[in-house]
Amino acid sequence: MQQPSNWIWSYGIDHNKLKRIDIAINYSMKRCALYDDANVRKFCSEKFDVYGYQSSQEPNNSFSDPRNGHYSKIETISLQSNSSNQSVSLHNIAEMSLFIKERTSKVFLAIHDQGACLVLYSIVVTYNVCPQKTLPDTLVLLPETIAPVNESKIVKVMGKCAPNSKPTAPELGANCGSTGEWVREDDSTGECLCTAGWEKVSSECKGMLLF
């Protein structure tokens, strides 16, 4: 009996010049101690590896196959040794991030199992954006913006006034945070005011009712 070696990998994922993607793997894994057969326990594993490969072009089958050594390990996912649940498979969600290399256009993901009794339920790839939004406090309309990798790389975004409003300062904007939230830099940032005949209702200017 030989050590198992099983791979599963994805198609190429277009990342559209992102700086980082977040990966969530929903899985369950069985404890090796639950097997009675010593031969099974000999090759049993309570971990699996997650790999990634980034390409600047459409790879051929040779390069997209992780068994050919082109992938880099992202993380090893292991069962917690101090878990009190020893009688059933342990269900968990592993979360990690992959930083995108410059001048690449596609990401491939792979999972390598070498003896784990593993069930994969889903692999979800996401990234954060600050959505197109009119800030209710300032009536500044901001465009959808890809969030930065972390808070040390703040993205300052210029906006424009919501319909039927006008600016009070030459520059209108806010910061896009890494979690996808818009944050005003300070109270001195310009704002917009509804024009005559319109009144502010939440994040828009609505026509005033005349009696």
Can you tell me the distance from the alpha carbon of 156 to that of 147, in angstroms, rounded to the nearest whole number? 10
Phi, psi of 194 (to 5 degrees): -60, 140
Structure confidence at residue 161 (pLDDT):
96
The encoded tokens of residue 111 equal 């999972």
Q: How many CB atoms lie within 10 A of CB 118?
A: 19
Question: Are the C-beta atoms of residues 206 and 199 closer than 8 Å to each other?
Answer: yes
Question: Are the C-beta atoms of residues 98 and 19 closer than 8 Å to each other?
Answer: no
Can you tell me the distance from the alpha carbon of 67 to that of 52, in angstroms, rounded to the nearest whole number? 12
Structure confidence at residue 60 (pLDDT):
60
CB within 8 Å of 102: residues ≥ 6 apart: none
Structure confidence at residue 188 (pLDDT):
55
* Reported pTM: 0.75
Structure confidence at residue 162 (pLDDT):
95
Structure confidence at residue 190 (pLDDT):
85
73: closest CA among 103, 106, 98? 98
Walk along the chain (211 residues) and give the pLDDT tens digit of each residue. 678 899 999 988 888 778 889 999 999 998 888 888 887 788 899 999 999 999 876 656 666 788 888 899 999 999 876 555 555 668 899 999 999 998 888 899 999 999 998 999 999 999 999 999 999 989 999 999 998 887 667 788 999 999 999 999 888 989 998 889 998 876 556 899 999 999 999 899 998 765 5
